[in-house]
Every structure is written in C-alpha cells, then in structure tokens.
C-alpha cells in the first residue's frame, strides 16, 4: 500500500502540463494581443485629435512607447528566470495591462482628461501636464504588462510540452512555435479589423472599453488553470501607413470601405497563411528530400526574411511616390485630408511582403535564440527579439527627428511633414530600404563569423536512438 501511494505521489507531477494547458496560455497571449494591438492603429489619430499633437511629435511619442514595450520584456524575462518564475510574471503582467486599459479608457470617458477642443487647429490649447500624465501612465503600464506577458508566454507554453526522454518532443515544440505565431497573428488580425472598426464607428469610449474587458478575461483565464501548469522554479542569481491609407479610396463596394487602421491585416493574414503552409506542407517535403526534420535552417529563414523586408520597403517607396504625384496632380497639395481618386489597394502588396518577411524572420529568430540558450534562461531567450525591436523603435524615433530637422532647413517642407502630400515619405522609405540592405549585409557577416548553428546540429541529431527512429520514419515516408 505504501509503495502504491509512493508511486502515485511520484506520478502526480507528471499529470501537469501537456496540451490541456494550451487553451489557457494561448488565450492569455491572444487576448492580450487583441487588446493591445487594437489600440495601436488609431492611436496616432487619438493623439492628434484628442491631444492636438502634430504627426512628427506623435510618431516620436509612439516610437518611445513601442521601444519601452519591446525593451521591458528583456527585464521581465530576467525577473522571470531569476526571481519570480514565468507564471507569476505573466500574472503580474496581465494585471498591469488591465490597469493600463482602464486608465486609457478613462482618458476617453472623463472630459477633463483631455483638452476641450476635439478638432485640431491653431487655436486649440495643448494638453495640461496632468492630462499628459494620465495618458503616459497608461502607456507605461502597457509596456510593463507586455514586459511580463510576452517574453514568458511562449517559453512557458513550450515548457508544458517538452518531454526530455522523447526525441520527438523537439519537433512538437518546433510545431508549437509555428502555430503559436499563427494564433498570435490571428489575434492581431482581429485587433486590426474588429477593434479598429469599433473605434471608427462607436467612438473612443466604446473603442477603449472593449479592449479593457478583453484584457480582464485574458488574465482571468490564465489564472483559472493555475493548478494544471508545470511551474519551473526560477534560477536565482543570474505610424505613417495610417495616413497613407486615410488619404486614398478605401472602398471595396459602394457601401463598405476598409478602415485606414486595418490595412496591417494583410500583413498578418499573409503571415498566418504562409506559416500554416510551411509547417504542414513544405517542412514534410523538405524532410523527405534532405533527411532533416526541420526544413530550412534557422539562419536561412532569417536571411530570407531580411531580404523580403528590404523588398517591402522598396515597394512602400514606389507606392508612396505614385500616391504623392497623384495627390499633387489632382490638386490636393494643400489638402492632406482630401481623398484621392486612387485605390488604397495599392498598399496591399507591400503589406503582404512584410507579412511574408515576418513569417521567416520573427519565428526563425525567436526559435534561434531559444535553441542557443539553456532551458533555465528560456524566457530571456524568447525576449531577445523584442529587445531588438526596442532598439529599432528608439532608432526610428531618433531618425524621424533627425530627418525632420535636416530636411526642413532653409524653409523647405520636411520629408516627414504632417501634410503627407507636401512631404517626401517616398524618400524616407528609400532611406529605410538602404538601411535594410546594409542590415542584411551585416547579417551575412555575422553568419560567417559565428559558423554553423549548434542548435540545428542538435535538432538534426537529437540523440543516437532518437536519430535512428527519425531516419526510419523518413525512409518509410520516402522508400525510393
């Protein structure tokens, strides 16, 4: 009897984790993304109309906010891996995100929280320090919330699936990475369509209230399954695209037009479709041909993503050049709010190429970091991509100000003018294209200097017995 009880006690912990925890972990991440990403597309419009901020200043503010949101995950990852563990870090992040949503909703609900005039003009008063404090407090809380959720969610989910004695679990985890991003991208797609539609048609009060409710359920569902998780102990001591779309004809039919803030859905949709095709169709075929279960190498996927990103910037420059010339030709040079006789569907190709680039680079880069770091530092590994985004956002904020100050010297119109038709955003996009090309060359140098990827060799080999099983399965699939 005692032996039986002892066996039951030893087996009990093994009942935790597994696929049954996935709905709660993924729901937390998905709801957080719906809530947070639903705020971003129209936020520049909210700052301009609600707080009377010009487009260059608004872009700088949002770039700093984005930098904080992408930088804090590395801090959250360190705290998770060293002190709190992923579960408590995600729980605290969910709470902070919910409070952020409530504060932002209050800026729309309370009339005194914003300047009185809702239509920007020269006579409009700027917001008071108290009003800006409330707004920026919500931004800070959102960054803190993202710092708790985003670096830990993926690693926490993968930890529920890993069986160290089963070599096939590594392929399961790789598939989890792919489908995790499909679901995350689907959430962003919903945010850019449904939430943006609500904001456009029902106003800011409802448009900010819905994300607050969604964020509440995000934290609630995650904590509901607390007893089923495998909780690893920490190791202590260790926005111009909107303005473009807004100036173009967005009608699909005579009665329906795509919201300006929703054009990012084409990027997300492309990512979802490609990852599904790659994981279900392309990887099995590549495995038959190469004998390697993981398809393209991680560095190959990242490199392809960088090339596609450069192409997307070039497409953006070309489309903006055509749009600007059309605006001037149609007499809208002094009317940035005028709607051109040019379809906004011109913007779709660049968004699709961006989505394809993200499907290669983001997933490949995240999986690369995860494969190179020890499992005790898994949260830090999955947060490194966000750290890169944080520095990127800071560079964007600084670069916009530099470009603005240099190009408007001598009384000239700035490239990044609030008047999209007088500015030269096409030149700005060409500058980004050149920077993307230089970045790809730097990536090639880093690949050459670092040598073969240890993580891929490990995945190809597994262990002796595991590799024999994998080879047998591949031969059965492809007897020829």
Reading the chain (480 residues) residue by residue, the pLDDT tens digits are: 344 334 433 444 456 777 788 888 888 888 888 888 888 888 888 988 888 888 878 888 888 888 778 778 777 877 776 678 888 889 999 999 999 999 999 999 998 888 876 444 455 677 888 999 999 999 999 889 988 888 788 778 877 776 544 555 556 666 777 777 778 778 888 888 889 889 888 999 999 999 999 999 989 988 988 888 887 666 444 355 555 556 555 556 556 566 655 566 677 777 778 777 877 788 788 777 767 666 778 888 899 999 999 999 999 899 888 888 888 888 877 777 777 777 777 888 888 898 888 888 887 887 787 777 776 666 666 667 766 765 676 577 778 878 888 988 888 888 888 788 888 888 999 999 999 999 999 999 988 888 776 545 444 333 333 333 434 343 333 444
Question: CA-CA distance, 403 to 433, in Å (whole number)?
Answer: 15
Q: How many residues does the chain have?
A: 480
Look at residue 149 in the predicted model and tell me its pLDDT: 87
Look at residue 306 in the predicted model and tell me its pLDDT: 94
Q: What is the CATH number of domain 19-118+129-223?
A: 1.20.1250.20
Q: Is residue 429 within 8 Å of residue 88, measured between CB atoms?
A: no
Question: CA-CA distance, 437 to 314, in Å (whole number)?
Answer: 10
219 CB contacts (<8 Å, ≥6 apart)? 28, 91, 94, 95, 97, 98
Q: Is residue 44 within 8 Å of residue 114, measured between CB atoms?
A: no
Alpha-carbon torsion 368, 372, 374, 379, what sign?
A: negative
120-126 own/partner pairs: CB under 8 Å, 24+ apart: 120/48, 120/49, 120/52, 124/52, 125/52, 126/51, 126/52
* CB count in 10 Å sphere of residue 23: 12
What's the first-to-final CA gap in the chain, in angstroms?
Answer: 55
Question: CA-CA distance, 379 to 150, in Å (whole number)?
Answer: 9
So where are the chain's domains?
Answer: 19-118+129-223, 263-372+424-480
Question: CA-CA distance, 262 to 124, in Å (whole number)?
Answer: 29
| Residue 1 tokens, joined | 């009897």
Look at residue 309 in the predicted model and tell me its pLDDT: 92
Question: CA-CA distance, 77 to 140, in Å (whole number)?
Answer: 17
Question: CA-CA distance, 87 to 80, in Å (whole number)?
Answer: 8
């Amino acid at each position: 009897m005692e032996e039986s009880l002892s066996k039951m006690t030893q087996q009990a912990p093994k009942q935790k984790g597994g696929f049954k925890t996935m709905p709660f972990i993924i729901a937390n991440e998905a709801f957080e993304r719906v809530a947070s990403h639903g705020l971003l597309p129209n936020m520049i419009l909210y700052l301009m109309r609600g707080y009377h901020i010009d487009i260059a200043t608004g872009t700088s503010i949002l770039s700093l906010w984005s930098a904080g949101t992408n930088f804090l995950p590395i801090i959250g990852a360190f705290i998770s891996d060293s002190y709190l563990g992923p579960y408590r870090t995600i729980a605290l992040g969910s709470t902070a995100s919910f409070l952020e949503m409530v504060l932002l909703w209050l800026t729309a609900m309370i009339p005194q929280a914003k300047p009185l005039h809702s239509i920007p003009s020269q006579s409009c008063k700027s917001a008071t320090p108290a009003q800006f404090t409330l707004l920026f407090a919500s931004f800070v809380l959102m960054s803190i919330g993202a710092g708790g959720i985003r670096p830990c969610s993926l690693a926490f989910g993968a930890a529920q699936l890993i069986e160290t004695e089963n070599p096939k679990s590594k392929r399961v985890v790789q598939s989890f990475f792919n489908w995790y991003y499909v679901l995350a991208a689907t959430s962003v797609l919903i945010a850019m369509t449904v939430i943006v539609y609500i904001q456009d048609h029902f106003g800011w009060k409802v448009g900010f209230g819905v994300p607050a409710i969604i964020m509440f359920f995000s934290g609630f569902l995650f904590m509901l399954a607390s007893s089923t998780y495998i909780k690893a102990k920490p190791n202590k001591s260790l926005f111009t695209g909107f303005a473009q779309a807004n100036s173009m004809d967005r009608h699909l039919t005579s009665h329906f037009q795509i919201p300006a803030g929703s054009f990012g859905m084409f990027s997300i949709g492309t990512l979802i479709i490609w990852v599904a095709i790659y994981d279900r169709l392309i990887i099995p075929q590549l495995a038959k041909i190469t004998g390697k279960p993981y398809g393209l190498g991680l560095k190959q996927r990242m490199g392809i993503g960088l090339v596609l990103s450069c192409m997307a910037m070039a497409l953006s420059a070309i489309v903006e050049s055509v749009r600007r010339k059309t605006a001037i030709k149609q007499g809208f040079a002094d009317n940035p709010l005028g709607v051109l006789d040019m379809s906004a569907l011109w913007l779709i190709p660049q968004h699709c190429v961006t989505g394809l680039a993200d499907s290669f680079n983001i997933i490949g880069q995240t999986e690369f970091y995860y494969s190179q770091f020890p499992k005790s530092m898994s949260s830090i590994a999955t947060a490194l991509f966000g750290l890169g985004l944080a520095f990127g956002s800071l560079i964007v904020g600084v670069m916009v100000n530099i470009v603005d100050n240099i190009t408007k010297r001598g009384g000239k119109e700035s490239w990044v003018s609030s008047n999209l038709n007088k500015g030269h955003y096409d030149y700005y996009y060409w500058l980004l294209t050149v920077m993307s090309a230089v970045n790809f060359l730097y990536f090639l140098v880093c690949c050459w200097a670092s040598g073969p990827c240890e993580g891929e060799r490990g995945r190809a080999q597994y262990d002796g017995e595991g590799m024999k099983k994998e080879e047998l399965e591949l031969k059965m699939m492809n007897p020829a």
